Structures are given as structure tokens and as C-alpha cells.
Amino acid sequence: MAHAKAQPPQTWTTRTLLAWMKDAFAKAGIDSPQLCAEMLLAHVLGCERLKLYTDPDRPATPLERQVLRDLAARALKDEPVQYLVGEGWFFSMPFLVDKRVLIPRPATATIVEHVLQHARATPGFGGEPDGRFGEGVILADICTGSGCVAVAIAKHMPGVHIVATDISAGALEVTALNAERHKVAEQIDLLEGDMLKPLEEHPVARGKGSLHYLVSNPPYIPDDEWESTDPEKGVQANVKAFEPTIALRGGADGLDFVRPLLVEGPTFVRPGGLVLVEVAASRAAEAKVIAEANPMLEAVRVLKDLEGHARTIVARRTNSP
């Protein structure tokens, strides 16, 4: 009687590991399962994601498989992949992230894009052809967090000078690392303190009407959305569990930090300069009313993010004192 041949053990290659993780993540309902699988495997193998596809039949070592299994298990328990690999992408740039800072979101790129477009198109805002882009421009980034906005703007405007503030010393440490990583540290001053207060101590930003731009992605989630269990309205469970609450919650109406930025912030901005503040989509109309009530602001608009949600209040500083 013939005996069936024993099947050789499966060789786990880059290709099969990616397929295994993608399938597991998709079944678990994890967003972007393919991207998450690529990020984890590239992290474990110490390579760029592109390398996963140029050498798909590379066998994984037992240690690599064990590390990957451990990370995948944590991802399947909703721990953000960006924290697992210590990196998140923003504006096509890699940023160091850990639990001291929020994971950068694509929606926040609206601020960066609008600043760059405005600077190129507006005389006196750094777009002159005879100098470095951003030459002489001063920008403040309030609640800088990981520094993704400040660093992205500095990288694309080599002449700009940025003052980045945050109440969290840990967040500023992350910002400093990201500024060094992208070689823009000399363009960015880091100040620890609450909201606008650090600007009052800065030799340049403290002067009234000194800034060309005041930008911020402050905490803005309203209490009702934070506490809601409705998956359409509420905050994702893994955001609550892993990301810093201090950088998320914006008070009862979500405007505790937005309000001072739109009411007091314009005093630091020169005539013709811009104030840009990210807000909760559900509170954009209320934030717009606050900005419109300030005689220091005009041309108030609400910009939509990449998904079409009302996301950023933008207003121009008037000539009023």
C-alpha cells in the first residue's frame, strides 16, 4: 500500500507573508489592510516598501516571522500600525510618531497646501522669483504635535522661519527629531507652552502684526462625539485607546481651543496675512461665525479636506488695529 508523501513545510516568503497579513487585516476590518501589511513587513525586514515587490520570493527568517507575528497580533487588537513601526506619512514625507503625538492625517494637508499656494501667488509672501521661496516669511504653528505641518511647510519653503508651539514637552521632542530628519531644524524655533502664550516671549513673533501665517491643528473633538457609541458619529475606539487625549478633545462644543485662535490669534498676524485653523467638520459653521465676528478678519472661508468634509477655517487679516 502506497503511502502519501509528506508535504514539505511552507516557506514563508515576502509574498506569502503579505498575503497572509492582508487577508487577516481585511477580515478584521482594519482600514487599508494592504498598506498596513506592507508597513509592518517593511519595518521588520528593514527595507523600503518597494523592495517587498522587487524581491517577493525572499524567505523570512524564523526571527523575522516571530517579530512579524507579534506585531500583526497587536495590529489585530487595533493598535495603530503607525505606532507599531514608529512612522507615519504626511504630505508624501515620513514622520517619526509615537504615543506622545497624534498620527498625522491627510486632512491636515489642506493647511500646508493652502499656505504654499497663497505664498506663491501673493506678493510679499515669499514667492518672489529673485529669492528663495518663503524668504522673509514668518509662520507660527500652534499645537504643532509631531511637527508634520511645520516641517512640511519648511521643507517646501526653504526661506520661511517657523515658530512651533506645544504644551507637551514630549511632543516638541518628536517635532525636533522630525525637523532634524528632514534637515529643516534651523528654520524652526520650538517653544513649550499653552496655545498662543509662547509667542509673547519670542523675539520676532511677539510683535503685533509680525506673522505672515498663523496655522493650527488644535484639539477639536466635541464631547458629544467623543462619548458617542454611534460608529458614524463617534471617535474610533483605537484613537481613544492609543492616541493622546490632550491633543484630541476640544471641550463641550469642540471650540475651546479653536475660539482663542480665531479671536486672539489675529493680533499676531500682519495685514493681508492668513489664519488657518483645522476644526471638526460638525463645528465648521460655528467656527466660521466666530471668525466672521472678529473685525480683524475678513474673507472668511471653510476649506474642504480630501474627502470633501468641511475641515479648515481660513481668514485674512484686515488693516484694522
Query: Three cell numbers at 277?
Result: 485653523
Identify the CATH number of the domain in which residue 210 sits. 3.40.50.150
Determine the average pLDDT of the residues in 222-247.
Answer: 91
What is the helix (H) or strand (E) element at residue 113, kind and residue range?
helix 109-121
147 and 278 housed in the same domain = yes
How confident is the model over 274-313, as pLDDT tens digits? Answer: 999 999 999 999 999 999 999 999 999 999 998 999 999 9
230 pLDDT above the threshold of 90: no
Q: If we measure between CA atoms, which residue out of 215, 154, 213 comes closest to residue 179?
A: 154
> What does residue 279 show for φ and ψ, rounded to 5 degrees?
-140, 165
Question: Does any domain span residue 309?
Answer: yes
Identify the CATH number of the domain in which residue 53 sits. 1.10.8.10
Cα distance between residue 302 and residue 305, in whole Å: 10
pTM (whole model) above 0.75: yes
80 and 192 housed in the same domain = no
Domain, as residue range, for 149: 106-317
The mean pLDDT value of the chain amounts to: 94
Question: Does any domain span residue 99?
Answer: no
220 and 140 housed in the same domain = yes
Question: Does any domain span residue 172?
Answer: yes
